[in-house]
Amino acid sequence: MNIITVKDAQEGGHKAFEIFKDELANNAQVFGLATGSTPITLYEDLVASDLDFSHKISINLDEYVGLAPDNPQSYHYFMQQHLFNKKPFAVSYLPDGLAKDADAETARYDEVIAGNPIDLQILGIGRNGHIGFNEPGSPLAGKTHKVPLTQSTIDANARFFENGEDVPRFAYSMGIGSILTAKHILLMAYGENKADAIKAMIDGPVTTHVPASALQNHNNVTVIVDEAAASKLSNK
């Protein structure tokens, strides 16, 4: 793994932007995208740039089951607000949260990934080492699947909904095996609360208990961390 240490998320976004730009210059066609607070500084730099994605393809990691694309809590909506409205791609694939048949939807998404090999995959990491919605215990060779959300995730999301019954209980997620098919993986992490996960991912054994540790098996991974997230690494 190539580990880049930065002072904060803003600098991390700048570094990630340079990597994104280099991949474009090297004729990358397909970009795997993530949601959440971690990639926002990258997306801000992309929006502010003169880069053009109108002939490129994006494939998102995940989406909540049961949320329509125009729901403000959906990942469709997040991507529109933070990137696609200003920097549209030729095609942007996301799981369909309203799909009637989960098996058919996960099979469809696997076909999307197989038919559009990802050149650069953007990732964040959870405090427990999850990537996408692949929680501890997820198979390291898994493909797209419907994931039951942990109670802690459901509780954390409850503040965004007026009615507790509206909080999603499931999500669709690219599997770890799907993520590992990307040619280049770029993972970002900021803050002391990510330090244990980063240490386990880089210094620990490859294990289903730390899903991100599977990245040790990939030959082209770049990790951007601030000093706090890197604070527990043996070779800082």
Q: Where are the alpha helices (DSSP H) in 128-172?
A: 151-157
Sequence-distant (6+) residues with CB within 8 A of 159 are none
Query: How far apart (Å, rounded) are the C-alpha atoms in residues 95 and 174?
Result: 9
Nearest to 187, CA basis, from 236, 120, 127, 140? 120
Task: Name the average pLDDT for the chain.
Answer: 95
Identify the bridge partners of residue 39 per DSSP, sorted by sequence position.
none
- Per-residue pLDDT reduced to its tens digit, 2-55: 999 999 999 999 999 999 999 999 999 999 999 989 999 999 999 999 999 999
Query: How far apart (Å, rounded) are the C-alpha atoms in residues 236 and 234?
Result: 6
Yes or no: say if 147 and 135 are a contact pair by the CB < 8 Å rule.
Answer: yes
Query: How far apart (Å, rounded) are the C-alpha atoms in residues 98 and 59?
Result: 17
Residues carrying an active site annotation: 62, 128, 130, 135
pLDDT beyond 90 at 71: yes
pLDDT score of 120: 98
Query: How far apart (Å, rounded) are the C-alpha atoms in residues 167 and 151?
Result: 11
